[in-house]
Amino acid sequence: MLVPLAGAVALAVLLGVAAFVIFNRDHDCSGGKLALRVVATPDIQPALNKIAGTYNKALHSIDSKCVEVTVAKEAAARTANALAAGKVSADFWVADSSLLMESMRATEGGAALPQVEGSIATSPVVLAAAKSAASKLSGSLQPSWVSMISAANVANVDGPGRKVRVLALDPQKNSAGLAALLAAAGTAKAAKQDKALVGALKELSGQLASDSTALLASLTVKSGSRVPVGVTSEQAIYAHNTKKPEVPVVALYPKEGTLSLDYPVTILTKDPQVLKAATDFKQALTAESAKKVLRDAGFRGTDGKAGDALSEDKGFTPETPAALDPPDGATVARMVQTWTRLNLGTRLLTLLDVSGTMALPVPGTNMTRMQAINRIATEGLALFPAGSEMGLWSFSTHMDGRGKDWKELVSVGPLSESINGATRKEQLVRTFAQLQAKATGDTGLNDTIKAAYTELTRTFQEDKVNTLLILTDGAGNDDPDGGVKNAELLQFLKKTYNPKRPLTILLIAFGPDAKKGKAQMEAVAKATGGEAYIAENILQVRDFFLQGMERRLCMPNCDG
């Protein structure tokens, strides 16, 4: 019996030695440690940190060095900006959205950005409301992007905005905010709600939440009788509710579908050893154990499937939500430009026709042309935040002494600035209300445009969208004293316009004679990258005004 027993012991020893050799070969740390520095967005960093801890304990070895992964947190936009400037010290980056990468590629340093190497999780961008308030929304707001646009549109005074207050994230600082902007823009275009989108963006741009944490905390703060509804990621709602707030938040899924954060992986290191470590850790993130950590943290898989964390009793819909088609890079860049220009601020001078025909009545109303236009212009002021710079000139003929066809009524400056005891905005409203047509006045349009364009060019401001808005009921220039000829005006504008300092003209003409001057008015606007609108009736001016405000956000590259 001793011989077989001795043989068994020897075999066990040999197997143990073999196992030790194999383990040591795969987990050889004799060369010390190999650091892998990971940077990730704050929402996914805790889960990645947990996965990294498990990974480190398993002693993954690269060239006799054990990989030690550390995971720092940083907002994706900040990392992207640092990366474009060549100032990132991390080896491995997990952003929250490929949309952010697309927007960065459109920037000056974007071509240097490395390619994304797959995704590790997803989280759809959804609407969010306090659980106690969600049931009250059914009568005033259906969960959809079009409804949110309507509620946020300041020009829609009778819309759902009377009962709902929309909260949004800054698209330039938050990927969920960018995804929401793109989803809203795409559905607005399909639903022919582009003008409403402009009004909504104008309203939202002045009251953005700094991040998802602040936005979700604001959902319990009512504004009068209005119910707050926000837009954020599904995972942000889950994370918020794990802190056991007094009032939990529920997710509402837009009926048109939505875009999702997709948490792309980008390997940044060029070091051969660290590159091997990064590739190994990336592989570890695809293991079922890592996927479970992510699902338990409120993320979905790359296939959109949810874990137990996103259950109905916790305020979620576990089924994969309908997906909108992801926008291409050009669309992302265009919308980012739109948002950037919108937030540059506004510098706008309005030229208002006060010639004799403005006293004519508007068919079907009890207003004159002047009264109708003044009302529309006053309503339009609501689209602009207090920091916007605006001014008003009137024009006809012989307005400020013989031979001068225009008169400055309110100088260009911030709407909030005080002028003689009242804000500029109040002065504009008062001036619009008091303006009357000049009974014997003609339309000295060309002289006025040249003078105004010269002044705005001289005072151009780089940090604002500079625009000359013209409202006229004529067929163009009608100046019996001569003045600047049509061809001379076009030559002047083409020579003066600078696409690097774009001062664009928006011209809205109305009245039965307007069509006669269509060709010249379109030529005037196009010479500055602008647009001319010919209204069939005066009430159509409101729509054209909103279209013009939409178009000025993309100028001078609206057709690109």
Q: What is the pLDDT of residues 55-102, one digit of tens each?
A: 999 999 999 999 999 999 999 888 888 887 888 889 999 999 998 877
pLDDT digits (tens, 9 = 90+) for 282-338: 999 999 999 999 999 999 999 999 999 999 999 999 999 999 999 988 888 888 888
Q: Is the pLDDT of residue 18 over 50?
A: no
CB contact at 8 A, 235 and 373: no
Q: What confidence category does residue 16 fall into, taking pLDDT thresholds of 50, 70 and 90? A: very low
Outline where 393-508 has alpha helix (H): 424-434, 445-458, 486-496
CA distance 77 to 560: 26
Nearest one of 295, 300, 297 to 242, comparing CA atoms: 297
The count of other CB atoms within 10 Å of the CB of residue 430 is 13
CA distance 146 to 152: 10
| 3-class secondary structure, 227 | strand
The count of other CB atoms within 10 Å of the CB of residue 545 is 24
Percent of the chain with pLDDT over 90: 51
CA distance 322 to 257: 4
One fold for 16-118+264-298 and 345-552:
no
List the CATH code of the domain at 16-118+264-298: 3.40.190.10
Q: Which residues contact 224 (CB under 8 A, 6 or more apart)?
A: none
Nearest one of 75, 275, 118 to 83, comparing CA atoms: 75
Q: What confidence category does residue 383 fall into, taking pLDDT thresholds of 50, 70 and 90? A: confident
Q: What is the mean pLDDT of the chain?
A: 86
| 3-class secondary structure, 386 | coil
Q: Which fold has domain 345-552?
A: Rossmann fold (3.40.50)
* Geometric angle at alpha carbon 102, from 99 and 106, rounded to 5°: 140
pLDDT at position 538: 66
CA distance 302 to 398: 69
Burial group, residue 282, by CB count within 10 angstroms (0-12, 13-18, 19+): middle
- Indicate the domain borders of the chain: 16-118+264-298, 124-260, 345-552
- 254, two tokens: 């837009």
Helix (H) or strand (E) holding 44: none
CB contact at 8 A, 369 and 511: yes
| 3-class secondary structure, 245 | coil
CATH class of the region 124-260: alpha beta
Q: Is the pLDDT of residue 220 over 90?
A: no
CB contact at 8 A, 455 and 351: no
Q: Is the pLDDT of residue 560 over 60?
A: no
pLDDT at position 237: 98
| Top-confidence range, 44-58, 135-149, 379-393, 411-425 | 44-58
Nearest one of 417, 418, 421, 428 to 382, comparing CA atoms: 428
Q: Which position has the higher pLDDT, 160 or 197?
A: 197
**C-alpha pair distances (Å), 511 with each of 278, 405, 541:** 68, 21, 10
Region 239-254: mean pLDDT is: 95
